[in-house]
Chains A and B, each alone.
Chain A
Amino acid sequence: MATRTTNNLRSKNKQPTLAAASFLKATLAVIWKDLSAELRSREIFSAMLVFSLLVILIFNFALELDIKTRQSATAGVLWVTFAFAGTLGLSRSMAIEKDRGCLDGLLLTPVDRSAIYFGKVISNLVFMLIVEAIVLPIYSFLYNIDLFKPGLLLVILLGSLGYIVVGTLLATMAVQARTRDVLLPILLFPVAIPVLIAAVKASNGYLTDDSLINIMPWMNLLIVYDLVFIAIAYMVFDFLVEE
């Protein structure tokens, strides 16, 4: 993750390099905790994967696409699937954090709160990317569409990042509310619409081998969105976890 200097007044370390090192260490610790826990139980991952496959199946019957329409609908179907699976993963990930008291434990350490946030973002992103990596070949196989274009993979990376950045922030809030499971999609979808629009348009562009001129604005939008919300999340996350 970014080894930038934290100007956070809460940080006990006065020296910038020391603060950055502890930030990075904390972030990596969170990532390591999540990934190793998940490796053992695989609960989030299996839920996301099975759910994705079911959604694709449902789309197959719901849309009743002929071969040609299927091509043009692929981007949309894929992103709806990813969005729903992503929401599931985020919900579970934050719920585990809260229910097992991991969050409280982490908060006791004298580390920049945002390190926890970035750690969660990366681990959630890894889960989502792994699920996508499995869904893509399966979709490709089921519908006989070549999905292995580097442009498409880049879009999926950027889009997933944007989605998870905002999703983790909102999931942190949702999990602390009474109506936690219902609340995350309600909070997330309206706010994540720019990501979904840009991702679908860009994916479509790459799938139909559209010219780069048409695709670039969408890629730019994705990048801008990612940067803006990473910055916002960095500034506001502390307020979400203070007691």
Chain B
Amino acid sequence: MQTKSITFKILDIISVLLLATAVYLALVYAPEELQMGQVQRVFYFHVATAWTALLGFVAAGVAGIVYLVTKDSKWDIVEVSAVEISLVFFFITIVLGSIWARPIWNTWWTWDPRLTTAAVTELIYIAYFMLREGIEDPDRRARFGAVYTVVGSFSAPITFFAIRLFRTIHPVVIGAGDPSALGTFDMTSKMLVAFMFALFTFSVIFVDLFWNRIRMGNLASKVEQLKLSIM
């Protein structure tokens, strides 16, 4: 089919190189953390993917609103791509967080505000794809997707505040239940470098995957329209 433009291919390569460097920085360059040991190193990727994913979800919400206003289907493709990649990144966040939590908090999971909101948000966007799967008309699918993204992007922050309220009223003082006690640490300058670099790397990787996914989305849209015109 269409071959990728040079810029695109360069971006692909840059992403891989940045990732390799980020891994090096996180695993070798950054010093070992004193209280948690080596597992702390997953933190660099955990936070980087978290931030990128959340920004991605916001971008998806914006794209949804723009679609509803302009009815231009390219915004629908932007929205789906943003949600899909954010979904993957956020899943990585949750898994890495869980792996980090196990030795530190002695549990794979805890129902604190951040984790619960994370789980709920992830479910909202999985539901988003199930919604889209169930609708055959592309125009309607795009509209409903956009509306659901708007609804979801309001619900997620409200969920966060609801649960934070919960924890404020009933402070949980069960051993490893307070995440701000066990798991915070001050970053040395080397750690900061690894951290900021990881953040930057994942932003670039997000953009690269985003671009690829949009390209695929355009292809899918073309195929669908051909199907509808022929069948």
Contact = CB atoms under 8 A, between A and B. Distances in A.
Given A183-B134, A190-B120, A198-B162, A236 B150 contact: yes
B101 to A, nearest CB: 22
A228 B158 contact: yes
B151 A221 contact: no
Contacts, number: 93
B153 to A, nearest CB: 10
A190 B124 contact: yes
Given A170-B151, A173-B148, A217 B165 contact: yes
Interface string B86-130: 000000000000000000000000000000000011011001001
A229 B148 CA distance: 12
A228 B162 CA distance: 14
Nearest to B151: A191
Nearest to A187: B127
Contacts of A194: 155, 158-159, 161-162
A190 B130 contact: no
A197 B166 contact: yes
A113 interface: no
Nearest to B71: A239
A221 B152 CA distance: 17
Tell me what chain B mostly uses at the interface: helix, strand, loop, or mixed. helix
A179 B124 contact: no
B147 A236 contact: yes
A200 to B, nearest CB: 10
Contacts of A170: 148, 151
Contacts of B150: 232, 236
Given A178-B135, A183-B131, A218 B165 contact: yes
A236 B149 CA distance: 11
Contacts of B152: 190-191
Given A198-B162, A239-B143, A186 B120 contact: no
Tell me what chain A mostly uses at the interface: helix, strand, loop, or mixed. helix
Contact of A232 (B133, B154, B166): B154
Interface in A17-45: none
B127 A193 contact: no
Given A179-B130, A221-B162, 15 more contacts: A166-B155, A169-B151, A173-B148, A187-B130, A189-B123, A190-B120, A194-B155, A194-B158, A194-B161, A218-B165, A221-B161, A225-B158, A228-B158, A239-B146, A240-B143
26 contacts: A169-B151, A176-B135, A176-B140, A177-B134, A177-B144, A179-B130, A187-B127, A190-B121, A192-B155, A193-B120, A193-B159, A193-B162, A194-B155, A197-B159, A197-B163, A201-B166, A217-B165, A217-B169, A221-B158, A224-B158, A228-B158, A229-B151, A236-B151, A239-B143, A240-B143, A240-B147
Interface of A: 166, 169-170, 173-174, 176-180, 183, 186-187, 189-194, 197-198, 201, 214, 217-218, 221, 224-225, 228-229, 232, 236, 239-240, 242
